[in-house]
Chain A
Amino acid sequence: MRKSLMRVFSLGLMASMSTALLPVLTFAGTYNLTVDKVLIDTGDFTKEGIGYNGKSPGPILRFNEGEEVTINVTNNLEETTSIHWHGLILPYQMDGVPKISYPGIEPGETFTYKFPIVQTGTYWFHSHSGFQEPDGAYGSIVIDPKKRKPFRFDRDYVVQFTDKHPHSGKRIMRNLKMASDYYNRQQQTLGDFLSDVNKNGFEATVSDRLDWGSMRMMATDVEDVQGFTPLINGKGPEQNWTGIFNPKERVLLRLINSSAMTYFDVRIPGLKMTVVASDGNYVQPVTVDELRIGVAETYDVLVRPKDDKAYTIFGASMGQTAYARGTLAPRDGMSADIPEMSIRPLLTMADMGMDHGTMEGMDHSSMRGMGSKEDKFYAKGSGIAPTAANGGKFLSYVDLKAQKPLYKEREATREIELRLTGNMERYIWSINGVKYEDADPIKLQYGERVRFKFVNETMMTHPMHLHGMWSILDVGAGKWNPAKHTISVAPGTTVYSETEVDATGQWAFHCHLSYHADAGMFRKVVVEGGPKTASLTTTGKGVPQ
């Protein structure tokens, strides 16, 4: 007992030395969190929001594999709150979703979470009540493994992205309901019409506008919400979060996208990134120049800055309307050039799920999606398929292959189709045309292997997140398909993932875009059968078969 405590303490000491600037809780076993009103300063504006232990983002919780954690959460707000541990496998009563796992945590109440840690890697936690998460209630989790890690690094940093907006989450939702294009300031104007006429000719341009007009949809509808300031570890681009390194060191960056609505295209000019983990699970290492991190996803990447100079960590929003910026430098106070954002992408008819022959003659000035290697996780001819700004390699889901598959490969026992649907004009989002409040729960049987078929009938990209169980994404690699907790489904595409149903209870399953989830793109999953004991032991997940 003492030995493990010592080990934990020394690990904790090393952990706190290697992770600068962010508060870290390292005591074994018991952790205390308070949920507070905090003031958030983005560099562009300050706003009252919600944080943990007096700050937003909240602390980095550092756990050890095999540890039995006790987390006391005290609610200092005037409204109910909750904390969901995103990506963690645990008993459903500890999952933190009000009305599904528990009633929530009342103002003034302290709720004690208690569960064993059965996995390793980078995860995060956030409120699952109202719009508290967009208002600032999020933090990170790093779980150190018992065995040696399959890669080497000299130091690690949590690099957590968010999209902080000057409006509160409640206000944003209300505005979107009044006018779904409330926050879109990238709409096509008369000026765009004239320049398109210049480039493509009058007929082609009018035809294009008529096509979109007949559907009453906008090609510029890439980001529902604009006007935010992207933050890295709570710091805006001007405030410049900085991670220190010694040249030639291997640095592990734990990229976490904790934003409400924004995907980030992340690159570090001058450095390649080697992806070694995705959503907490090890993947066969793949080196890329740029990657797109979807809302709620995590990627662990290794970089090896060789020179004694600063490097910019650059995260452009998917719609190229704003960027997050941090720095890796050998000393404080250094900074490198900030790259330019790329031209704003436009959706195409392919993203609408249509195969239009009228693509010829269209202006492909953005040239996105028309690169040499088309990513099969985007519609063929998509306007938002990403390409690396430096012409190099852009990570695709196809590149993600499990290093150590969590489950043995076997045939799925049944398939469930989930059409991702919505009405942008009314800002209603749903699954199979039905909003959460009008839907029956999805019933699964313990022990089955369900194949989920996501058919995206909308023109937005949805990061679908199933709580409590792994989603094995079908990238066409058979037994090497990676296990993830959040799966991004691009417009006009169909994506498959399989889940070994091995966690009893009830679980949330929803699009992780905050305002979509609230609008109805949400389901309750009920797992019937399985061991009766609502014990704190889970059944062998994470253990290779």
Chain B
Amino acid sequence: MRKIIKHFPSILFSLALLTPFTSHAEEPANIFYGFQMEEFEYRYGESGEELFAFDGDAFIGSDELKLRWEGDGEFDLNIEKFETLSNQLSLQTPVSDFWDIKGGVRYTSPQGPDRWYVAVGLSGLAPQWFEIDTQLYLSEKGKLSADLDVEYSVLLTNYLTLTPSATVDVAFSSDREIGVGSGVNSVEAGLRLSYDVWDRIFSPYVGVVYERKFGQTANFVEAEGESADIWYAVIGAKLMF
């Protein structure tokens, strides 16, 4: 099981490379690529917590099939360790005008034990411009979990954007080793005000983030002497190129 999961990325990658040559006519498909950081910030918590957090992705591929890397993490600047760190490689394909499905492999490697997961997800644009991204994970330990991410952009001007966002993490069975309890694990809500300084390449922002852990997960965290709900002030920049 582990071996297949470990080799999954390379299998997916080679499949992706084949796409240009599997299209119908003599014309090869156009290949596009992009990179972005939706979050790239310094977080200062109400009790002096200091984190560096990032959430980004990159893709390469055609309209029909893309290879996508997604990464996110929180690096504790005080203890100099990653609180959370996740890297995922998936193949993504459209299923409708506004929705894509993706499937791939995810590897989490924060402080503590690492985990491999198989991931399937759905991402797209819901009516009224809500950006949705939701994934289901099956870990190598046989544990099932999921997350849902919702984001909305309010244009204050054509360059000044207010972005409320929310992420919910849910686990269907607990995994004590990595501090995950069953049920809703955590909710992270953010409100960021960004300004497009240079095209859409570099948009610095300030904002607030509220993170709250629930149930068993909260217990685990409190047992280690940390707070289960924290407000942060954040400053960072969105990147896209």
List A residues at the B interface (Cβ < 8 Å).
Answer: 99, 173-175, 177-179, 182, 185-191, 210, 213-214, 216, 423, 425-426, 428, 435-440, 518-519
Give Cα distance in the complex from A187 to B200, angstroms: 14
A426 to B30 alpha-carbon distance, docked (Å): 13
Residues in B with CB closer than 8 Å to A213 are 127-129
Instruction: Find out whether the CB atom of A214 lies under 8 angstroms from the CB atom of B127.
Output: yes
Q: Does B27 contact A (CB under 8 A)?
A: yes
- Give every chain B residue within 8 A of A175 (Cβ-Cβ): 199-200
Contacting residues, chain A, for B30 (C-beta < 8 A)? 437, 518-519
In the bound assembly, the distance between CA atoms of A519 and B62 in angstroms comes to: 11
Q: Write out the residue numbers on chain A whose beta carbons fall within 8 Å of the beta carbon of B26.
A: 99
Map CB proximity to A onto B123-142 as digits: 1 under 8 Å, 0 otherwise.
Answer: 00101110000000000000
Smallest Cβ distance from A523 to chain B, in angstroms?
10
How near does chain A come to B83, taking the closest CB pair, in angstroms? 30
Report, nearest first, the 9 A-B pairs whose CB atoms are least far apart.
A437-B27, A213-B128, A178-B34, A177-B32, A185-B158, A189-B155, A438-B24, A214-B127, A437-B23
Q: Which residue of B lies closest to A214 (CB)?
A: B127
Does B215 lie at the interface of the complex (its beta carbon under 8 Å from any beta carbon of A)? no
A216 to B158, CA, bound (A): 18
Q: Counting chain B CB atoms within 10 Å of each CB, which of A189, A210, A428 scores highest?
A: A189
Query: Could you tell me if B129 and A435 are in contact, using CB atoms closer than 8 angstroms?
Result: no
At the interface, yes or no: B29 with Cβ under 8 Å from chain A?
Answer: yes
A435 touching B200 by the CB < 8 A rule? Answer: no
Interface CB pairs A-B, < 8 A, 8: A187-B155, A189-B156, A190-B154, A190-B156, A426-B97, A437-B23, A437-B27, A438-B24
Q: How far is the CA of A189 from the CA of B154 in the complex (A)?
A: 8
* Size category of the binding interface on chain B: 20 to 34
Which of B33, B63, B200 contacts A182, CB < 8 Å?
B200
Kindly state the separation between the CA atoms of A437 and B33 in the bound complex, as whole angstroms. Answer: 19
CB distance from B171 to the nearest CB of A (A): 32
Q: Does B28 contact A (CB under 8 A)?
A: yes
B residues 69-119 near A (Cβ < 8 Å) are 94, 97-98
CB neighbours (8 Å) of A428 from chain B are 63
A residues within 8 A CB of B63? 426, 428, 435
Alpha-carbon gap, A188 to B32, bound state (A): 28
Q: Which residue of B lies closest to A181 (CB)?
A: B200
B240 part of interface (Cβ distance < 8 Å): yes
B29 A177 Cβ-Cβ under 8 A: no
Which single residue of chain B is at the shortest CB-CB distance from A209?
Answer: B128
Residues of B within 8 A of A426 (CB): 63, 94, 97
Least Cβ distance of A500 to chain B in Å?
Answer: 27
CB of A460 to closest CB in B, whole Å: 16
Instruction: Determine if A179 and B157 form an interchain contact, defined as CB atoms under 8 angstroms apart.
Output: no
Q: Tell me if B174 counts as interface (CB < 8 A to partner A).
A: no
**B23 / chain A contacts, CB cutoff of 8 Å:** 437-438
CB-CB nearest in chain B for A519? B30
